[in-house]
């Protein structure tokens, strides 16, 4: 073999060897990243911040997730719920975005309408951009749920027709913090559907509000049906003192509430219906979980993957069935798409909704 052949052969051998080494290294990168993520989480406590007090629907979902998600996060950390109620979960959303560690050791659950509140603008207390959270997804997309208006049977108002009657008595509803769905939805029902509603806001949390209605301090509330099923199921018993008058957050009636109209059905005109549909968009992210912005990509991906995986876990699903909560999850991509859809809403429609929500008693 002449010199040129030997050189060419040597070059080919060197190039082949280099390519093989490079290929092996590329294959090893995902495993190395996975090991780094596992090393970070191993032996750690991960805080799950929930923007409401104990006992309500959001808290139930948070504690359910915390019991099971650790086994799907590399390194299997212990996940601990930290309640941070305040301002309809705005306090928690601000904390997660601005204060919480951005290393993947903290994520949280806040109200479904927080993204809408931020995108509507005008609330100087909002300190976050919903498009920049590290979204994990939502445990419920409201496929099997509804946000219902429930009223005591001994209240003067017995039906939607009663609630709309000129000069008739108002429904006296309780709510939690200003800006929460228990406050905002009654305002929309009053302004868009013509229901006579007197809202008594400021109850500390959902559990206290349940008790206030049982004691007849107020006549009713708006609340997630799954929250009632899991936290106050006696309201749905055949001999209950409560009735369901309306369902919100849905395009169609739930089969279990086939005789109860949706807000869209009751809209008196196209404008009112369009505003109701805009206000209902956040219900796709009915139980939204997110980590702070800036979490290292590999850890953010690990949290998102764990979130998707836990909703298929048999033990998680068995616990959810016992609690009677809706499990219709969406992942991070669907959450980001929903936020983008909200952000793309025509400004005139957003401004109209913002003006409505600014109206108080």
Q: 177: domain CATH number? A: 3.40.190.10
How large is the average pLDDT for residues 155-166?
Answer: 97
Comparing 11-15, 62-66, 105-109, which segment has the lowest mean pLDDT?
A: 11-15
Q: Which of 19-23, 187-191, 258-262 has the lowest mean pLDDT?
A: 19-23
Looking at 231, 256, 281, the residue that finishes a domain is 281
Residues 6+ apart with CB under 8 A from 118: 126, 128, 129, 130
Least confident of 16-20, 61-65, 113-117: 16-20
User: How far is the C-alpha of 195 from the C-alpha of 193, rounded, in Å?
Assistant: 6
pLDDT at 253 over 50: yes
Name, in order, each residue with C-beta under 8 angstroms of 302's C-beta and a sequence gap of 6 or more.
34, 37, 41, 73, 74, 104
Q: What's the pLDDT tens digit per position in 96-105?
A: 999 999 999 9
Residue 41 Cα distances to 35, 97, 106, angstroms: 10, 21, 11
- 103 and 189 inside one domain: no
Look-up of token digits 């082949």: 16
The reply to whether 87 and 200 lie within a common domain is no
In a shared domain, residues 107 and 55: yes
Asked whether 307 and 289 are in contact (CB, 8 A), the reply is yes
pLDDT, residue 25, reads 44
33 belongs to a structural domain = no
Residues 313 and 223 in one domain: no
Same domain membership, residue 299 and residue 249: no
Model confidence at 17: pLDDT above 90:
no
What range does the domain containing 137 cover?
40-141+285-344
CATH number for 119:
3.40.190.150
Distances in whole angstroms, Cα of residue 356 to Cα of each of 184, 252, 282: 9, 24, 17
- Overall domain count for the chain: 2
Contact 332, 131 (CB under 8 A): no
Tell me if 3 is assigned to some domain: no
Please indicate, yes or no, if residue 34 is contained in any of the structural domains.
no
Domain boundary (259, 281, 303) is at: 281
| Helix ranges (DSSP H) in the chain | 3-41, 57-68, 90-98, 114-120, 160-164, 181-193, 206-214, 225-231, 263-266, 270-280, 297-310, 314-323, 332-343, 347-357
List the one residue out of 80, 105, 106, 78 whose CA is nearest residue 93.
106
Burial-class residue 147 by CB neighbours within 10 Å (0-12, 13-18, 19+): buried
Any domain includes 350: no
DSSP H/E element including 76: none
Please indicate, yes or no, if residue 18 is contained in any of the structural domains: no
pLDDT of residue 278: 95
Q: What is the pLDDT of residue 358?
A: 84
Residue 109 lies in a domain: yes
Q: Is residue 172 part of a domain?
A: yes
């Amino acid at each position: 073999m002449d010199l040129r052949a030997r050189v060419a052969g040597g070059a080919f051998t060197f190039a082949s060897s280099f390519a093989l080494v490079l290929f092996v290294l590329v294959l090893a990168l995902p495993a190395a990243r996975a090991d780094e993520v596992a090393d970070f989480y191993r032996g750690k406590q991960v805080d799950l911040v929930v923007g409401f007090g104990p006992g309500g629907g959001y808290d139930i979902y948070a504690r359910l997730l915390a019991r099971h998600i650790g086994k799907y996060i590399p390194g299997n950390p212990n996940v601990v719920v930290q309640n941070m109620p305040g301002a309809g979960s705005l306090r928690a959303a601000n904390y997660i975005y601005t204060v919480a560690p951005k290393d993947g050791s903290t994520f949280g659950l806040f109200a479904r309408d927080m993204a809408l509140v931020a995108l509507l603008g005008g609330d100087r207390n909002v300190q976050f951009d919903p498009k920049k959270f590290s979204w994990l997804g939502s445990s419920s997309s409201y496929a099997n749920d509804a946000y219902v208006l429930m009223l005591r049977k001994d209240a003067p108002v017995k039906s939607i027709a009663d609630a709309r009657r000129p000069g008739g008595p108002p429904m006296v509803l309780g709510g939690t913090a200003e800006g929460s769905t228990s406050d905002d939805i009654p305002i929309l029902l009053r302004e868009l559907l013509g229901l006579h509603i007197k809202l008594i806001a400021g109850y500390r949390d959902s559990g206290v509000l349940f008790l206030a209605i049982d004691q007849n301090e107020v006549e009713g509330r708006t609340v997630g049906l799954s929250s009632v099923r899991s936290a106050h199921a006696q309201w749905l018993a055949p001999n209950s003192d409560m009735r369901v008058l309306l369902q919100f957050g849905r395009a169609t009636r739930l089969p279990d509430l086939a005789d109860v109209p949706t807000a869209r059905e009751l809209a008196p005109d196209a404008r009112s219906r369009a505003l109701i549909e805009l206000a209902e968009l956040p219900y796709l992210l009915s139980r939204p979980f997110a980590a702070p912005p800036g979490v290292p990509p590999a850890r953010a991906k690990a949290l998102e993957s764990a979130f998707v995986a836990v909703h298929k876990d048999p033990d998680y699903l068995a616990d959810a069935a016992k609690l009677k909560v809706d499990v219709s999850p969406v992942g991070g991509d669907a959450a980001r798409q929903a936020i983008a859809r909200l952000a793309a809403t025509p400004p005139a429609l957003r401004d109209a909704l913002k003006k409505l929500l600014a109206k108080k008693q």
